[in-house]
């Protein structure tokens, strides 16, 4: 079976686009082949800064033949219809058509056989159209041509042929670039064209011409060399996957070198050193394995085996890093000359969101909310308020302006340098947490108050102006904010009612909002209820990831007034444990049976069987026992719930199992006596009601 | 080989570096222009770039352009930042297929050998909101230092560029510091001589940096500058209106004088900005006003004999 090799050789492709482009190329080409009836055995895409390549293994030499039937008009139909059919089916005369019949009589049918085309022909057609419409995030024209590509496209390899033979070039022309079987190696360390056949010799010859085709291999080389060099220096590499991925997209032939900067710069916070070196220079930092502190050395990845052994490259990079660190040091020193408090008035000129006012107004709201939440989280209200007021101040510092990812952290450093209380200072860093699913959840009370206030204000604000996340779009990271609130509340076991407490407070603090009726597509329910629904969905996702059953979450959420996350989770846990027991399983089965019978009979009778069963009409001992058991269980459950002891509530409910089983064993619900039947149905309804104190059992699966 | 003892060697003198680039691009068929005689923020503002990048006519040019960035002044105290510096600008239209190679050759001509130095093309999209222009390309790195901008113009003055111009912009001071191995711009050797005859960049420009920083941040007459902006803006519109031949919008006779006023407005805005008298919201509207002028000038240029097909 023949193989296809494709290479699109261009000027430097932005590193951030490379992976996706390789995937897109593979998908677009293989999909198009499969659509054309060409099924392949395997495909692999490659990318370097200057080339996108694709190898498809095991393609058939031609497409399968296709038989096509076209139904025509009835025999004896008017001539116009016949002529139209002939034209559409590509027939010369009606004698070429066959006649078939169905229930209504004879009709014409044209059977055309479409010969499968040679795979090469299909490829020659589909590659140009894929190249012309390739989904680059940004693309451009160059010279006098009209072709669009991420950067000027210089040459194309497209070969096709069986493993054992010399493959042929699939010929086509895309905007003046003709396909062939040659390419170039490393820009500096190779010369002349390379002629290739298929993947194996392509990759081998590129390697000889100082190009490592596979991005993952480049990553491995960089990582292994960087670790070895670090080790040789008695140091340890600070690993950074995102940087590694990026750097592997900046070189075709990675050469790892180590450079040095002055020890004096180590006075700058290590996060700032790392950010400077990483973002501006795409270099890795090293640390001392014993102390864990940064070393005054860095790892750079060049694209060249330099004739001087890399001395000039090292010196050049070190020179730039020195200049960058001088800037950083200057920023760090300058920033500490202005107190955080003194920066605040500037926020009055900065808009947070056109409908939600200035940053200053937002900070005021967060401060107020943090103070109100303080007692709930056992924080000192005055500290919480002060911390909230200062938490964003570092956004106006030079260091954060330069390196946004150290926001919060710098605030902490500056606050500590000013001699501000450590709890208040720490909140600056921690109030942004948790940033992602793996990030730490703050636990210091002041940090917790500010973190909650910050997130709740954001959520309330965007809910009030109805700019909620939709599908994959969540520009204000509201899902992350809600999940953050959930994790903070649960991890710290905070008893914070959301609906009437947190949400209403946050919403009330917002600037005057337009009447929801005038907001486009505003939901019919209040923002706080809508927001609670959003939290419910987030909580479900969160608990499911933590291993809980989503139906149990639903069953608890379906109850009225569930807005206390800690209680919800405890109830879900207790319910889950209960349902794992024999009693639980049987009671659930009994419940389902009761609910089924009820729904059938209620439907039949077009009524609902609510209300107390009449004790005098209870005849069978089992139904008497059940009625009594329900009463006892209900009062026990209520008492247990009042003391928030969900385990006890479940145990009380477990006591229903035997009477329920006994009832279904011995008692016929649909008794002949109408009154007895009605009474028994009411009894069934009482089972439904009793369980509803704990959860909506109708939402539980199984 | 470059003779490193020659005072005009690019690694010995600032002027030697400039001369080497001039010679290199002249030998590649470029018209070598002298700087435009107006204050501007970058070589891109020169009509030889902004206007000549429009329309179908081929155009290859190289020139030094003094670039004024009032806000970047540091009173001569920062070793890397200047409110007045030199850009070396090259425009090749249409962009030739070997533009990257030409660029590497130009680096070799100033003593940067790609077999010793790690030259990299790192993604950098270029956009000039004031000129209604954008392009894709790279910042070119030499051993981790950005030494040039490399851009394929896609749009200028709001018009699609067809053919596309390739633009190379070299930051001359930074390159010179690198090839001379100097850490402070004011220490650059300007004339390549030694001893008493040595003239440094500081000898030439330090006084100016101090004076203009004071001027740009503290003293520049804002009332006058606001007025100048308005006058330039209205003059630009007036010349554009008056430039249509026979009053019909078919042929234009005065795109260049009108564009001069656009450059003036832009510089007045930059000075006002550095004086800190333009608020964040106003800033955007000033940028838009300059862009409207640039667009109208571009439209007019495309109707001139020099600018159209």
Higher-confidence residue of A511 and A667: namely A667
Give CB contacts under 8 A, 24+ apart, made by B32-39: B32/B61, B32/B62, B32/B63, B33/B61, B33/B62, B33/B63, B34/B63, B34/B64, B35/B63, B35/B64, B35/B65, B35/B66, B36/B63, B36/B65, B36/B263, B38/B260, B38/B263, B38/B264, B38/B267, B39/B68, B39/B263, B39/B264, B39/B267
Residues of chain A contacting residue B175, judged by C-beta atoms under 8 Å apart: none
Model pLDDT, residue A687: 86
> Does residue B2 carry a pLDDT above 60?
no
Residue A514 has a pLDDT of 58
What is the DSSP secondary-structure string of A132-190?
HT---SS-B--TT----BSS-EEEEEEEEEETTSPPEE---EETTEEEESEEE--TTT-
Q: pLDDT tens-digit profile of A691-700?
A: 888 899 888 9
Chain B closest-CA separation from residue A284 CA (Å): 13
Is 80 exceeded by the pLDDT of residue A500? Answer: no
Give, for A315, the enclosing helix (H) or strand (E): helix A311-335
pLDDT tier, A96 (very low <50, low <70, confident <90, very high otherwise): confident
The two structure tokens encoding residue A43: 């495909």
The whole-number average pLDDT for the span B23-28 is 98
pLDDT of res. A518: 60
Percent of chain A with pLDDT over 90: 55
Q: Give residue B98's pLDDT.
A: 97
B138–chain A Cβ distance below 8 A for any pair: yes
Chain B interface, mutation test: which of A50, A143, A280, most B Cβ atoms within 10 Å? A143
User: CB under 8 Å to B105, separation ≥6 — which residues?
Assistant: B24
- Please tell me if residue B183 touches chain A, with a CB cutoff of 8 Å: yes
For every residue of A213-247, DSSP letters joined together read --HHHHHHHHHHHHHHHHHHTT-EE---HHHHHHH
Q: Angle A241-248/A215-232 helices, nearest 10 degrees?
A: 120
Hey, are the CB atoms on B143 and A312 less than 8 Å from each other?
A: yes
pTM over 0.95: no
Per-residue pLDDT of A234-271, as tens digits, reads 999 999 999 999 999 999 999 999 999 999 999 999 99
* Cα A357 to Cα A345, A352, A364, A367, A580, distances in angstroms: 14, 6, 11, 15, 52
Q: How would you write A586-619 as a 3-class SS string? A: HHHHHHHHHHHHHHHHHHHHCCCCCCCCCHHHCC
ipTM of the complex as predicted = 0.94
CB B65 within 8 A of CB B309: no
- CB contacts < 8 A (A, B): 102
A304 to chain B: which residues are within 8 Å by CB? 114-115, 117-118
Chain B nearest C-alpha distance from A312 (Å): 6
Domains of chain A: 3-62+118-208 (no CATH), 75-113 (no CATH), 215-335 (no CATH), 343-562 (1.10.3210), 581-699 (1.10.730)
Mean pLDDT of A313-339: 92
The residue of B60, B120, B143 whose CB has the most chain A CBs within 10 angstroms, and thus the best one to mutate to test that interface, is B143
Q: pLDDT tier at A286 (50, 70, 90 boundaries)? A: very high
What pLDDT is recorded for position A351?
A: 80
Question: Taking residues A383-401, what's their average pLDDT?
Answer: 94
d(CA B58, CA B288): 30
The per-residue pLDDT for A357 is 85
pLDDT greater than 90 at residue B80: no
Q: Across the interface, do B115 and A306 touch by the CB < 8 Å criterion?
A: yes
Confidence of residue A473 (pLDDT cuts 50, 70, 90): confident
Q: Answer yes or no: do B144 and A316 touch at CB < 8 A.
A: yes
Q: Which whole number is the average pLDDT over A400-404?
A: 87
**Between A613 and A409, where is the model more confident?**
A409
pLDDT at B116: 95
> Is A152 in Cβ contact with B152 (below 8 Å)?
yes
Give the pLDDT confidence score for residue B281 in this predicted structure. 66
Q: Does residue B242 carry a pLDDT above 70?
A: yes
Q: Judge whether residue A602 has pLDDT over 60.
A: yes
Q: What is the pLDDT of residues A205-229, one digit of tens each?
A: 999 999 999 999 999 999 999 999 9
| pLDDT per position as a tens digit, A6-58 | 999 999 999 999 999 999 999 999 999 999 999 999 999 999 999 999 999 99
For residue A101, pLDDT beyond 90: no
Q: Please indicate if any CB of chain A lies within 8 Å of the CB of B280.
A: yes
* B56/A514: higher pLDDT: B56
Q: What is the mean pLDDT of chain B?
A: 95
Q: Is B121 on the interface with A (CB under 8 A)?
A: yes
Please confirm whether the linkage preceding B208 is cis (ω < 30° from 0): no
Residue in the structure block whose two tokens are 């409110």 = B83
Position A479 scores a pLDDT of: 93
What is the phi-psi region of residue B111: left when phi exceeds 0, alpha when psi lies from -120 to 50, beta otherwise? left
Give residue A557's pLDDT band: very low, low, confident or very high (50, 70, 90): confident
Compute, in degrees rounded to 10, the torsion defined by CA atoms A301, A303, A305, A306: -90
* Residue A156 or residue A616, greater confidence: A156
pLDDT at position A543 is 87
Task: Say yes or no to pLDDT of B65 above 60.
Answer: yes
Residue B143 has its nearest CB partner, among A138, A142, A313, at: A313
Segment B143-190, tens digit of pLDDT: 999 999 999 999 999 999 999 999 999 999 999 999 999 989 999 999
Taken in order A148, A149, A151, A156, the sign of the CA dihedral is negative
Interchain contact B142–A (C-beta under 8 A): yes
3-state secondary structure of A620: coil
Measured between beta carbons, the chain A residues lying within 8 angstroms of B136 are 138-140, 150-151
Q: What is the pLDDT of residue A104?
A: 80
Report the alpha-carbon distance of residue A157 to residue A369 in Å, rounded.
63
| B90-122 per-position pLDDT tens digit | 999 999 999 999 999 999 999 999 999 999 999
State residue A66's pLDDT score: 83
Residue A189: pLDDT band (50, 70, 90) is very high
| Top-confidence residue, B158 or A404 | B158
User: Per-residue pLDDT for B54 more than 90?
Assistant: yes
pLDDT band at A551 (very low <50, low <70, confident <90, very high): confident
**For chain A, what is the mean pLDDT?**
91
| pLDDT score recorded for residue B4 | 67
């Amino acid at each position: 079976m023949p193989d296809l090799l494709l290479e699109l050789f261009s000027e430097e492709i932005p590193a951030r686009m490379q992976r996706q482009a390789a995937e897109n190329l593979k998908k677009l080409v293989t999909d198009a082949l499969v659509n054309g009836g060409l099924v392949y055995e395997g495909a692999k895409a490659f990318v370097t800064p200057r080339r996108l390549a694709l190898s498809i293994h095991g393609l058939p030499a031609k497409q399968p033949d296709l038989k096509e039937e076209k139904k025509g008009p009835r025999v004896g139909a008017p001539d116009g219809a016949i002529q139209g059919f002939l034209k559409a089916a590509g027939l010369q005369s009606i004698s070429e058509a066959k006649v078939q019949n169905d229930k209504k009589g004879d009709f014409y049918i044209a059977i055309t056989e479409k010969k499968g085309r040679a795979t090469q022909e299909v490829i020659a057609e589909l590659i140009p159209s894929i190249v012309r419409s390739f989904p680059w995030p940004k693309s451009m024209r160059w010279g006098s041509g009209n072709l669009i590509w991420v950067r000027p496209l210089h040459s194309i390899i497209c070969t096709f042929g069986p493993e054992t033979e010399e493959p042929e070039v699939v010929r086509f022309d895309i905007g003046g670039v003709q396909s062939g079987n040659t390419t170039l190696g490393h820009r500096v360390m190779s010369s002349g064209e390379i002629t290739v056949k298929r993947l194996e010799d392509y990759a081998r010859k590129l390697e000889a011409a100082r190009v490592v085709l596979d991005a993952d291999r480049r990553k491995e080389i960089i990582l292994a060399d960087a670790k070895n060099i670090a080790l040789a220096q008695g140091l340890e590499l600070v690993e950074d996957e995102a940087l590694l991925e990026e750097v592997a997209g900046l070189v075709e032939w990675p050469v790892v070198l180590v450079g040095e900067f002055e020890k004096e710069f180590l006075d700058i916070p290590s996060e700032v050193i790392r950010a400077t070196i990483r973002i501006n220079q795409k270099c890795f930092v090293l640390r001392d394995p014993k102390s864990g502190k940064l070393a005054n050395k860095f790892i750079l990845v060049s694209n060249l085996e330099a004739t001087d052994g890399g001395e000039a490259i090292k010196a050049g990079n070190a020179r730039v890093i020195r200049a960058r660190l001088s800037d950083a040091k200057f920023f760090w020193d300058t920033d500490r000359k202005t107190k955080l408090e003194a920066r605040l008035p500037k926020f009055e000129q900065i808009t947070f969101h056109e409908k939600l006012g200035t940053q200053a107004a937002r900070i005021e709201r967060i401060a107020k909310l943090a103070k109100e939440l303080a007692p709930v989280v056992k924080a000192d209200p005055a500290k919480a308020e002060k911390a909230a007021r200062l938490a964003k101040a570092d956004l106006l510092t030079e260091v954060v302006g330069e390196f946004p990812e150290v926001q919060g952290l710098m605030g902490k450093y500056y606050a500590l340098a000013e001699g501000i209380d450590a709890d208040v200072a720490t909140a600056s860093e921690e109030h942004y947490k948790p940033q992602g699913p793996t990030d730490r959840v703050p636990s210091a009370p002041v940090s917790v108050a500010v973190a909650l206030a910050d997130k709740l204000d954001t959520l309330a604000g965007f809910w009030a102006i109805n700019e909620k996340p939709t599908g994959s779009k969540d520009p204000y990271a509201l899902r992350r904010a809600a999940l953050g609130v959930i994790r903070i509340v649960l991890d710290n076991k905070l008893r914070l009612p959301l609906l009437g407490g947190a949400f209403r407070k946050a919403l009330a603090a917002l600037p005057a909002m337009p009447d929801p009726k005038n907001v486009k597509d505003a939901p019919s329910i209040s923002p706080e209820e809508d927001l609670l629904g959003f939290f419910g969905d987030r909580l479900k996702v969160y608990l499911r990831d933590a291993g809980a059953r989503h139906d149990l979450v639903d069953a608890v959420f379906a109850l009225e007034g569930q807005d206390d996350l800690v209680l919800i989770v405890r109830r879900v846990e207790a319910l889950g444990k209960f349902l794992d027991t024999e009693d639980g399983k049987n009671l659930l089965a009994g419940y389902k049976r009761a609910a089924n019978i009820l729904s059938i009979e209620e439907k039949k009778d077009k009524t609902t069987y609510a209300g107390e069963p009449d004790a005098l009409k209870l005849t069978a001992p089992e139904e008497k026992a059940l009625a009594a058991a329900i009463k006892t269980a209900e009062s026990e459950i209520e008492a247990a719930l009042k003391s928030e002891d969900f385990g006890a509530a479940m145990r009380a409910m477990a006591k229903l199992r035997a009477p329920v089983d006994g009832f279904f064993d011995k008692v016929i619900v649909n008794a002949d006596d109408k009154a007895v039947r009605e009474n028994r149905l009411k009894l069934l309804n009482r089972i439904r009601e009793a369980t509803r104190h704990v959860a909506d059992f109708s939402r539980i699966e199984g | 080989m470059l003779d490193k003892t020659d005072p005009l060697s690019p690694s010995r003198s600032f002027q030697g570096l400039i001369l080497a680039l001039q010679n290199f691009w002249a030998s590649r068929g470029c018209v070598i222009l002298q700087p435009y005689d107006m204050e501007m923020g970058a070589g891109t503002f020169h009509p030889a770039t902004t206007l000549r990048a429009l329309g179908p006519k081929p155009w290859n040019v190289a020139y030094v352009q003094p670039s004024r960035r009032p806000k970047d002044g540091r009173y001569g105290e920062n070793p890397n930042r200047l409110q007045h510096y030199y850009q070396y600008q090259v425009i090749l239209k249409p962009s030739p297929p070997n533009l990257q190679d030409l660029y590497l050759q130009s680096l070799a001509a100033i003593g940067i050998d790609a077999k010793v130095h790690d030259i990299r093309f790192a993604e950098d999209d270029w956009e000039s909101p004031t000129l209604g222009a954008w392009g894709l390309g790279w910042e070119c790195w030499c051993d981790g230092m950005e030494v040039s901008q490399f851009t394929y113009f896609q749009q200028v003055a709001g018009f699609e560029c067809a053919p596309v111009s390739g633009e190379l912009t070299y930051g001359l001071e930074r390159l010179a510091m690198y090839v001379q191995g100097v850490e402070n711009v004011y220490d650059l050797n300007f004339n390549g001589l030694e001893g008493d005859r040595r003239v440094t960049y500081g000898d030439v420009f330090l006084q100016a940096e101090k004076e203009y920083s004071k001027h740009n941040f503290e003293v520049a007459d804002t009332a006058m500058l606001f007025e100048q902006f308005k006058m330039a803006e209205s003059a630009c519109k007036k010349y554009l209106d008056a430039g249509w031949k026979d009053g019909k919008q078919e042929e234009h006779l005065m795109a260049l004088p009108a564009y001069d006023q656009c450059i003036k407005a832009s510089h007045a805005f930059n000075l006002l900005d550095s004086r800190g008298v333009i608020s964040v919201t106003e800033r955007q509207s000033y940028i838009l006003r300059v862009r409207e002028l640039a667009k109208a000038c571009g439209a007019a240029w495309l109707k001139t004999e020099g600018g159209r097909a």
